[in-house]
Homo-oligomer: A and B are copies of this chain.
Amino acid sequence: MPYRQTERVKLRLAATRVQLLKTARQIVMESGFAGLTIARLATRAGVATGTVYRYFPSKDDLCLEVFRRACDREAELAWQEARGSGPADQRLAAAIRVVATRAMEGATAAYPIVAEPAGDSLERERRVYRENWSNAFAHAIRAGITDGVFPKQDADISAACITGAILEALIAPLSQVDTARHTPRTVDGIVRFAMAGVRYPSDSEAAA
């Protein structure tokens, strides 16, 4: 029994794996998923191209994991706010704000994550991610309807609208170059718009 993987090696392997994921994330933040090639990743991480395949079965899998890691934390934050204990409308506003603010601050990272062209599997995953956001919003909206602070409405549609509003107003412009365009006022504008959208009834119902 001349060789068995020892603890030390196990740790080193895990460290390399994490290193690869971190490097991949850096590259994606700089150049998007389009700029993430195995060769580039390997060089930057200081390993050979073949080595990458000892840690990830395919590029797709690698991308997925990079993506998930980036997303999980974001979605969790939104849910924390949405689930919170205060009045439903304040919770919704807080959830919107946290998503919008973080997206704005992490400007470069945000675009590839939520919008950049990428492969099929990523596209599917991205939907999951957005839906996670939307679901957090919908959760708060439903609570608000129950509590009577929001009028009756299709919470899923409103939530999707909010997600879309954030992405478009905040992130889509980043595909261009003017990163400096956004200010905290932009987030305020989005929150205001979204909250009004949820809070006020339609013309017909308002008239009724």
Contacts and interface: CB of A to CB of B under 8 A. Distances in A.
Report copies per complex: 2
Contacts of A127: 172-173, 175-176
A32 B46 CA distance: 37
Contact of A196 (B123, B134, B175, B196): B196
Nearest to A157: B189
B189 A153 contact: yes
A189 B190 CA distance: 18
Contacts of A165: 160-162, 164-165, 168, 197
Grouping DSSP codes into helix (H, G, I), strand (E, B) and loop, the A interface class, with mixed when no group exceeds half, is helix
A130 B200 contact: no
Contact of A197 (B118, B134, B193): B193
A169 interface: yes
Contacts of A175: 123-124, 127
Give the 8 A-B CB pairs with smallest separation, nearest first.
Answer: A164-B168, A117-B117, A161-B165, A157-B189, A164-B164, A160-B169, A197-B197, A196-B200
Interface residue range, chain A? 35 or more
Contacts of A161: 164-165, 168-169, 189-190, 193-194
Interface string A137-179: 0000000000000000110011011111111110011011000
A124 B175 CA distance: 8
Contacts of A107: none
Nearest to A186: B157
Contact of A195 (B162, B173, B185, B203): B203
Contacts of A186: 157
Contacts of A160: 165, 168-169, 172-173
